Chain A
Amino acid sequence: MAQLSVPTVDYTQYSNRQLVAVPLALLAVALLVIGGWYLLTGAPANLGLEFVGGSEIRIDDPGGNAAQQIETAFSAQPDSVRQIAADDTYILTCAEGAVDTPDGGNQLSVLEQQAEAAGFSIQASSSVSPSFGANTQTIALGGVLVAFLGMSVLVFVMFRSIAPSVAVIASAFSDVVLPLAMMNLLGINLSLGTVAALLMLIGYSVDSDILLNNSILRESGDFYESTSRAMRTGVTMTLTSIAAMAVMTVAAYLFGIQIMTAIGIVLVVGLLADLMNTYLLNVSLLRWYVNRGVNA
């Protein structure tokens, strides 16, 4: 079996400014992407069906020329059609209002009737009304804010000094923002699953930061010794999680289980961001904090 060894970084070669440059630059780019998205689309990310409303229907592979059969079966062109190879189904999504509904009927009901009339068997379906979606947006945003504030307060209470706490919080902030920007660039929609994953990231990412702070501030040994000790443990941890989540993401994508794919991909990107933020951003902030008496 291949041996996994955590590389040791010689931090003495780099100045704090150099170390901080990369994560801060990426954070700035991410914020620009998200801000630009907000200006262009009115939302910080591509909002999925759960937030804007719409219908989704999963039908059995009709066999033959599926794309053409799907096109003729439905009165509206679906926004997206995705084939799930693992169980021979297709997932179709339609924005709310895409399908003409006679006398104010339910859009998904119309789609279901059209699917059945064309001989598809319906494996799953779901609909979200725009008003419900808008509500969900507010709640999700509120949830993320409350979670982030709660985490910040807890970190302050635990460390009782500003610089280390700020280091942890800044790195957690970047861990959440980077995957969000990445999702925009990759064209992944923000769904309830991704919100859960962003919240989970707050918990996950703080692990390695706290480990690092604890090792440097509360344990014996000089700065570089403590850092490399914390890094050995922290990188192992994060890599284990990344591996588990990457496997979940790929498998769930193949099986067409969207909630798990969404949770998985955000965690993978977020944990990668966490590796960078913890061992570049957080480390340099701590080095500055520990040495501030010396250099001043």
Chain B
Amino acid sequence: MIEKLRSNWRLTLLTVILLVSLFMIFSPTMAPQTNVGGENATTGDRLTNLQYGLDLAGGTRIRAPLIGMTAENVAIGNESTTNVAAAVANELPNSDTTDVTVRRGTINGPTVEAVDPNVSESQFGEALGGAGYSYETIRDGLTQETRDEAINVIEGKVNQAGLSGASVQQVTDGTGFFILIEVPGQDRSDVIDLIEQRGNVRIDIYHQNNAGEYVTERAVLTQDDFASISNARQPDDRSPNPRVPVSIRQENGIAETFQSSVVETGVAQPGGAICRYEESPQNTDSCLQLVVDGDVINSFGMNGDLANSMRTGDWARSPSFVLTTTSFEEAQEIAINLRAGALPAPLAIDQGTTSFVSPTQGENFRTDSLIIGILAILTVSGVVFARYREPQVAAPMVLTAFSEVLILLGFAAYLGYPLDLSVIASFIAVLGTGVDDLVIIADGVMAEGDVSSNRVFSSRFKKAFWVIGVAAATTIIAMSPLAVLSLGDLRGFAIFTILGVLVGVFVTRPAYGDILRNLLTKR
């Protein structure tokens, strides 16, 4: 028995790998620990451990570049990065400090990044010069650090919005970097609404200056000044507006500075302030303004109690505060933006790609591709049986080719690689090349009459295998550009075609040789 297993070790190996693959696909113990789809998982089914990609499960995929340019090796000396950012932003038309990022210690030395899409490269260069910083080069694109930060922020936003199973990663097409966001089960427009804004939240104060003109004091509170952010609240008896309760940081006198600004500008005037900015901006008490990405979302005054506690200075000892908005959706967005932080650069969805497949369409594609796969197997079987007419030769051929597909599915389950339409297409392509090579083996071995001895068999098998090896190497070389470059959805196709060819050459096709030898040398 053992002797037999050893002399047929290729066949034994195939059997073992097949069993392992089946185990990977079906065993509940191999199920992914954290189901990728989360609670309302649509990305996997319960029967198998296979994960489905967005094509087959439904969901939204967005691939978009971050906008901005980077000045490298900027001579900023020992100056603080905040000061440099402020100085450069000051020289740029309509730019805030949030549009300029200064970093030390990147691989290109100290860098300054400008992310306002309206700023040209020459304007940026002039601004750096105007602020007194020399630099080596300005290039399109951002630093890896900024891209990582952007990925963290987007992940934060997606998680804060309760979208489970999403993935955010960086991909490159060789010319630039893109952020790839995949969210199962969500509509395209919902995902775009969530991520397209940078989400810079700040508070301005709109008030009259000493000369009686209305002016805006910008950024009395910014993103970093908030200590905690509660969930968005619907309007209720306590307040007629949707709102986000927040508290302000006490360190470094942040709360106190805010308190004195509010008092000085007259928002916290005795008895409170009533804001009429929307109706009559030239005749209103002082207002607090909630500003997101430069747009005023809401303007509001202050009630008497709060104004009094600010005037006495009590407020800064427990600085909690309420941001009111005009709609609950807005309140939710503000809360998400405050918690996840602002994107360090705008995401240019219009310079990338988006795709959406509804969950029902995904289910249809799943059934459809299963049908196509079965049809392909039947067709191949039909041709092979018609050609060889000997079930002993043809049946193992079809089974061997099919086992290649099973092993690939096992790989996919083991890796947790999400199956999509292009991966299924690669299974069919592998089935095709697999049968091709088995035909070469069968014809090579059976040519020129009977195969009487093991020796004759091995020499013919080796000859046939030379052709298979070269053909496999060619396919791998032809497919490798696709596997390396991120050409959209074709990576899966290339990766699984290459895997399939490797499995074929090293496992299944040699095993078919064993089967044939047993059949032919026995006679």
A residues contacting B by CB (< 8 A) are: 1-4, 50, 58, 86-87, 89, 104, 106, 108-109, 112-113, 121-129, 131-132, 135-136, 138-140, 142-144, 146-148, 150-151, 154-155, 158, 192-193, 195-196, 199-200, 202-204, 206-207, 210-211, 214, 218-219, 229, 232-233, 236-241, 243-248, 251-252, 255, 257, 259-260, 263, 267
Contact A240/B358 with A132-B352, A203-B433, A257-B421 known, Cβ cut-off 8 Å: no
Contact of B478 among A2, A200, A239 (CB under 8 A): A200
Look across to chain B and name the residue whose beta carbon is closest to the beta carbon of A130: B351
Interface residues of B in 334-377 (CB under 8 A from A): 349-358, 360-361, 364-365, 368-369, 371-372, 375-376
A260 and B478 form a contact (CB under 8 A): no
Contact of A259 among B375, B382, B421, B444 (CB under 8 A): B421
Look across to chain B and name the residue whose beta carbon is closest to the beta carbon of A143: B481
Contact A112/B474 with A124-B355, A233-B444 known, Cβ cut-off 8 Å: no
A236 and B443 form a contact (CB under 8 A): yes
Per the bound structure, the CA–CA distance linking A155 and B471 in Å amounts to: 10
A129 and B443 form a contact (CB under 8 A): no
Q: Describe B's contact surface by its main secondary structure.
A: helix
Q: In the complex, how many angstroms separate the beta carbon of A249 from the nearest chain B beta carbon?
A: 10
A126 and B356 form a contact (CB under 8 A): yes
Chain B residues with CB below 8 A from A252, complex form: 368, 372
B355 and A4 form a contact (CB under 8 A): no
Per the bound structure, the CA–CA distance linking A3 and B476 in Å amounts to: 34
Per the bound structure, the CA–CA distance linking A199 and B175 in Å amounts to: 21
A131 and B351 form a contact (CB under 8 A): yes
A241 and B173 form a contact (CB under 8 A): no
A129 and B432 form a contact (CB under 8 A): no
Q: On chain B, which size bracket covers the interface?
A: 35 or more
Per the bound structure, the CA–CA distance linking A210 and B467 in Å amounts to: 6
A244 and B351 form a contact (CB under 8 A): no
Contact A240/B490 with A129-B353, A143-B481 known, Cβ cut-off 8 Å: no
Of B207-215, B325-333, B422-430, the one touching chain A? B422-430
Per the bound structure, the CA–CA distance linking A109 and B493 in Å amounts to: 29
List 9 extra interface pairs beyond A127-B355, A246-B379, CB under 8 A: A58-B361, A106-B350, A199-B478, A199-B482, A203-B476, A204-B436, A229-B447, A244-B428, A248-B376
Chain B residues with CB below 8 A from A218, complex form: 463, 466
B354 and A206 form a contact (CB under 8 A): no
B435 and A147 form a contact (CB under 8 A): no
Per the bound structure, the CA–CA distance linking A256 and B353 in Å amounts to: 21
Chain A residues with CB below 8 A from B176, complex form: 135
Look across to chain A and name the residue whose beta carbon is closest to the beta carbon of B65: A132
B164 at the interface (CB under 8 A from A): no
B479 at the interface (CB under 8 A from A): yes
Contact of B174 among A139, A192, A211 (CB under 8 A): A139
Chain A residues with CB below 8 A from B488, complex form: 50, 136, 192
Contact A4/B383 with A112-B188, A127-B354, A251-B372 known, Cβ cut-off 8 Å: yes
Per the bound structure, the CA–CA distance linking A86 and B383 in Å amounts to: 27
Chain A residues with CB below 8 A from B173, complex form: 135-136, 139
Contact A140/B382 with A154-B474, A236-B387, A251-B371 known, Cβ cut-off 8 Å: no
B439 and A204 form a contact (CB under 8 A): no
Per the bound structure, the CA–CA distance linking A79 and B284 in Å amounts to: 53
Chain B residues with CB below 8 A from A135, complex form: 173, 175-176
Q: In the complex, how many angstroms separate the beta carbon of B175 from the nearest chain A beta carbon?
A: 6
Please, could you name 25 A-B residue pairs with CB atoms under 8 Å apart, sorted by A?
A: A1-B386, A106-B349, A123-B357, A123-B361, A126-B354, A136-B487, A143-B485, A143-B487, A146-B481, A148-B478, A151-B478, A195-B482, A196-B422, A199-B481, A203-B471, A203-B474, A207-B471, A210-B474, A211-B467, A236-B383, A237-B439, A240-B384, A244-B379, A248-B425, A259-B421
